[in-house]
Structure 1
Amino acid sequence: MRRCSVVAAAVAGAVALTLASTAVAKQPGPRLAERYLNLHQCVYVGSGGHYTNVLPNTANTAFNTGTNASNTPDTALSCGPGGGGWRSAPANSAVKAFDLTAGRYLNLHQCVYFSAGQHYTAVLPNTPNANFNTGTNVSNTADTTLTCSPGGGGWRLLPANSAVQSFDLTDNRYLNLHQCVWTSGGQYYMGLLPNTPNTNFNTGTNASRTADTTLSCRPGTPGWSLDQLNSAYRPLGS
């Protein structure tokens, strides 16, 4: 009888150890310490058309935004005043606090519109100009289909420069945002994603356990050059 008790105890211990090991194995790796990704999309209009900025740390400080990672959701849009003939376009600008506890993936939709030689890049789903909003969201499911509003007023979607990328923030500590801006003949084009069909204009944006230390931008195509003043990278997380 005592031997049975010893065997039963040993089996129970082995089962407990197996369950504990399984629990440890299922634990996710490091993730962003902050609850909210506060993404500020600031759009400006000028003689070169439209220019979109989402980063807070470009060398062209008059156009910087309030984008950050925080335990507090931002409710007020923060945009630099612009300058040099460029003024804010409130209808296309917005802030969105993405609750990272709501899902595993940040599904970032980049929608690029084109009109008469001008490019306009949008990433947020909640600007007042709803015809240019995107499907960017946080979810437990990785998006596989790009969601872009249809545009309008002579603006049409440019599929070659538009894409959706799902960033797994459960097992990564940083969202490394790379904002690359190219210019040609006074026009500006901003890209955030690494996976558009127009690969010459892709960026190094990624989710990682380490913070990036170098800006990564593709070279563009002949006639387009990288604008270092408005390009930057930002590791969000801690």
Structure 2
Amino acid sequence: MRGWRPVLALAVGAGTFLGAAGPVAAARDQQVRESGAAASGYLNLHQCAYYASSLDDHFNTFVTPSGDGRYSTGTKHSATADTSAACGAGNGNHVPVPLLHGVNALNLGSGRYLNLQQCDYYRSAATDRFTTLVTPSGDGRYSTGTKVSNTRETTPTCGPGNGNHVPNPGLSGSLPLDLTSGSRLNLHQCVYYSERLKSHMTSVVPAPDKRYTTGTNISDTVDTRPSCGAGNGDYVLVPLLSAVKSIPLS
């Protein structure tokens, strides 16, 4: 664990009162407290939304794609809280949608768990879908429950959508990551495209439909390649737009 320091003196003192099990329990609790405190500063999670009117197609990026910087994001660790999303200009066809951009400055010292919540929205009339990991700055109807807390959240909290784009539970998910389990957040972004439907979709958090799973994790290892599900055969992985960003937690 990160941030561990010897706790023998504490354990010996506690043993006087707690008996044989006391030193072990006290040492373990102290380790958890000290490891958790090692995560500090802000995880500035940037969400960038793009739309192509010719295709009636939205998609999102949370990490700068490995092969196309035109859809870049400002996601990073910092000592300060970002208040506005930094997004690339798009490719001229897919252009930014500021209403659906967002940034969540997550205080990493405020709890043990980083609860990443992914909300997928779908409009059947145009087979269009998009994903939020951050509540958009201009439209709270697509809100998410992404936060740092001392509680593990295993079910996503998603806004109701606008009546046209509605929540899709099969591709929505919540990933509670223990901030004491490693020194880095490896944020995996998996982007898929259906040529038949002219539709993109993005996945960052594993959801009930494991065909679109991702490798997002906390560890002491720097991931360098995104780990993504294969898709369903219609929606297939787009390596150019997929990526992983390894972000230090302190």
- Counterpart CA distance in 2 for 1:155 and 1:203 is 23
Instruction: Indicate which of 138, 141, 147 corresponds to 2:157.
Output: 147
Q: Conserved in 2, the CA contact under 8 Å of 1:32 and 1:237?
A: no
Q: Conserved in 2, the CA contact under 8 Å of 1:42 and 1:88?
A: yes
In the alignment, what sits opposite 1:100? Answer: 108
Describe the shift of the 1:16–1:161 C-alpha distance in structure 2 as closer, same or farther (beyond 3 A).
same
- Counterpart CA distance in 1 for 2:58 and 2:185 is 26
Q: Conserved in 1, the CA contact under 8 Å of 2:214 and 2:229?
A: yes
- Asked if 1:237 corresponds to 2:248, the answer is yes
* Aligned-residue offset at 1:31: 7.3
Q: Conserved in 1, the CA contact under 8 Å of 2:65 and 2:240?
A: no
- Counterpart CA distance in 2 for 1:219 and 1:212 is 19
* Aligned-residue offset at 1:154: 1.1
* Aligned-residue offset at 1:87: 1.3
Contiguous gaps of at least 5 residues in structure 2: 1-8, 17-21
Q: Conserved in 2, the CA contact under 8 Å of 1:181 and 1:227?
A: yes
Q: Conserved in 2, the CA contact under 8 Å of 1:30 and 1:172?
A: no
Q: How does 1:57-206 map to 2 (within 5 A)?
A: 57-115=65-123, 116-185=126-195, 186-194=198-206, 196-206=207-217
Describe the shift of the 1:200–1:14 C-alpha distance in structure 2 as closer, same or farther (beyond 3 A).
closer
Q: Conserved in 2, the CA contact under 8 Å of 1:31 and 1:171?
A: no
Q: Conserved in 2, the CA contact under 8 Å of 1:109 and 1:165?
A: yes
Describe the shift of the 1:140–1:87 C-alpha distance in structure 2 as closer, same or farther (beyond 3 A).
same
Q: Report the secondary structure of 2:77's partner residue.
A: strand
* Aligned-residue offset at 1:143: 1.1
**Per-residue displacement from partner, 1:158-193 (whole Å, max 9, x unpaired)?**
111011110111232111110000111231010001
* Aligned-residue offset at 1:227: 0.6
Q: Conserved in 1, the CA contact under 8 Å of 2:11 and 2:23?
A: no
In the alignment, what sits opposite 1:8? Answer: none
Pick the structure with greater CA Rg.
1
- Counterpart CA distance in 2 for 1:158 and 1:44 is 19
Q: Report the secondary structure of 2:109's partner residue.
A: helix
Contiguous gaps of at least 5 residues in structure 1: 1-11
- Asked if 1:41 corresponds to 2:51, the answer is no
* Aligned-residue offset at 1:40: 0.5
**Per-residue displacement from partner, 1:188-217 (whole Å, max 9, x unpaired)?**
0100012x1111011111111222232200
Paired residue type of 1:41: Q
Q: TM-score, normalised by structure 1?
A: 0.87
- Counterpart CA distance in 1 for 2:212 and 2:10 is 57
* Same amino acid, percent of matched pairs: 38
Q: Conserved in 1, the CA contact under 8 Å of 2:10 and 2:27?
A: no
In the alignment, what sits opposite 1:27? Answer: 31
Q: Conserved in 2, the CA contact under 8 Å of 1:34 and 1:70?
A: no
Describe the shift of the 1:109–1:24 C-alpha distance in structure 2 as closer, same or farther (beyond 3 A).
same
Q: Supply the RMSD in Å over aligned alpha carbons.
A: 2.4
- Counterpart CA distance in 1 for 2:38 and 2:71 is 26
After superposing the two structures, state which structure 1 stretch, 148-157 or 13-22, moved more: 13-22
Alignment length (residue pairs): 226
- Counterpart CA distance in 1 for 2:11 and 2:110 is 36
Q: Conserved in 2, the CA contact under 8 Å of 1:204 and 1:216?
A: yes
Q: Conserved in 1, the CA contact under 8 Å of 2:39 and 2:108?
A: no
